[in-house]
A and B are shown apart, each in its own frame.
Chain A
Amino acid sequence: MVAVVAIVVALIVVSVSGGDSSSEPTASEIRGADAVVTLTKGAPQAGFAIGKAGAPVTVREFIDPQCPVCKSASEDIIPAVITGPVKDGTARLIIEPLTFLGPDSSTAAIAIAAAAEQDRGFAFTEILYANQGEENKGWVTEDLLTGIAGSTPGLDVAAWNAARSGDASGDELFAVADRATANGVNATPTFIITGPGGKQVIAGAKGSDEVLAAIEAVR
């Protein structure tokens, strides 16, 4: 019994001592901007969306900016969707930011919505995920957001900053929350894929094959 307790205490000490090793990027250390430039090249952006407005398939991705699985989706699923069906005109991807994980989610989502007012919601979101920090630890700082805004191609930082304190960004997020409720979304990421062939819903981020197959199925 003593040995078991000693092992558990040792494991706790090891875990706690490793708890403060992460560090958040500063404004000069924004990651992912170059990759987003490459990814979005040739694909039109509008509001929260990327892809042709008349594309037959619509992919709505409900996210929370702090959700680590959404970050995984950003790295493992979204590039395949953009380089495939979005760029060939089959699909249009729309980012739908929710804010249920905590205060940092709200701050980040408003920043995304403000970027969307300049048709850069998607690009801003992707760069944000490349710089995601530990959940609810205050990683969404002004330095980080301003750095991301400055790294987002085509974004007027002064106008973005002004939009963050306006009503439009908050209204957009309320509308997203309403759409999530209407569609029964209770987790992120959730992909709602609609097209002439019907509707498919995928919760979680198991891989790009599943999302690509769903797009193919409803096109």
Chain B
Amino acid sequence: MLGLGITGYLSWERLTGGSPACVIGGGCATVQNSEYAQIFGVSLSYLGFITYALMLASALIPGFWGRLLGLVTSVGGVLFSLWLLYAELFLIEALCPWCMASLVVMLLALAVAVARVVRAGDLTT
């Protein structure tokens, strides 16, 4: 839900045509306005929102397919968030606090997804 909130806010800013400002010591707008802020023309805010929505759906889907969806989305989310962190540090040279918060949420989601898989015994079958 926290991840949905973060990406929902950023998506709303995009949809309403507004931009977060360039924050002193932050630079989120720089990241949001950079070429790395979209993939194939789709804003990362939207992709993040869809990913979190799929995570929420995975929590509601019982059984193996729910656990698999949770694992795939969280692994993908973490890998992508790490790539974005790399881009912020070394390519854009500006950090986005929202993106870092999203990375933390993704890591927590991954921990939960792995715990679900381990507890269900999917790895031992």
**Which of B16, B30, B40 lies in contact with A101, CB distance below 8 A?**
B30
Q: A residues within 8 A CB of B21?
A: 67, 69, 187-190, 203-205
Q: Is the CB of B33 within 8 A of A19?
A: no
Q: Is the CB of B22 within 8 A of A101?
A: yes
| A1 on the B face (CB < 8 A) | yes
Cα distance A183–B16 in the bound complex, in angstroms: 27
Q: Is the CB of A1 within 8 A of B75?
A: yes
| B17 on the A face (CB < 8 A) | yes
Q: Is the CB of A67 within 8 A of B18?
A: no
Q: Is the CB of A204 within 8 A of B19?
A: yes
Q: Is the CB of B24 within 8 A of A186?
A: yes
Q: When A and B form their complex, which 3 residue pairs have the shortest distance between CB atoms, in order from nearest? A: A187-B21, A206-B18, A67-B22
**Which of A1, A8, A21 lies in contact with B83, CB distance below 8 A?**
A8
The closest CB in chain A to the CB of B71 belongs to: A1
The closest CB in chain A to the CB of B23 belongs to: A187
Q: Is the CB of B93 within 8 A of A68?
A: no
Instruction: Give the contacts of A1-35 with B (CB-CB under 8 A).
Output: 1, 4-5, 7-8, 11-12, 14-16, 18-19, 21-22
Minimal beta-carbon separation of A96 from chain B (angstroms)? 13
Q: How large is the interface on A (under 10, 10 to 19, 20 to 34, 35 or more residues)?
A: 35 or more
Q: Is the CB of A19 within 8 A of B18?
A: no
Cα distance A186–B39 in the bound complex, in angstroms: 30
Q: Is the CB of B39 within 8 A of A101?
A: no
Q: List 16 A-B contacts (CB under 8 A).
A: A1-B75, A4-B79, A5-B79, A11-B83, A14-B39, A19-B91, A21-B35, A22-B35, A67-B30, A68-B19, A69-B33, A135-B30, A186-B24, A188-B21, A205-B18, A207-B18
Minimal beta-carbon separation of A177 from chain B (angstroms)? 11
Q: Is the CB of B83 within 8 A of A68?
A: no
| B29 on the A face (CB < 8 A) | yes
Cα distance A68–B92 in the bound complex, in angstroms: 13
Q: A residues within 8 A CB of B75?
A: 1, 4
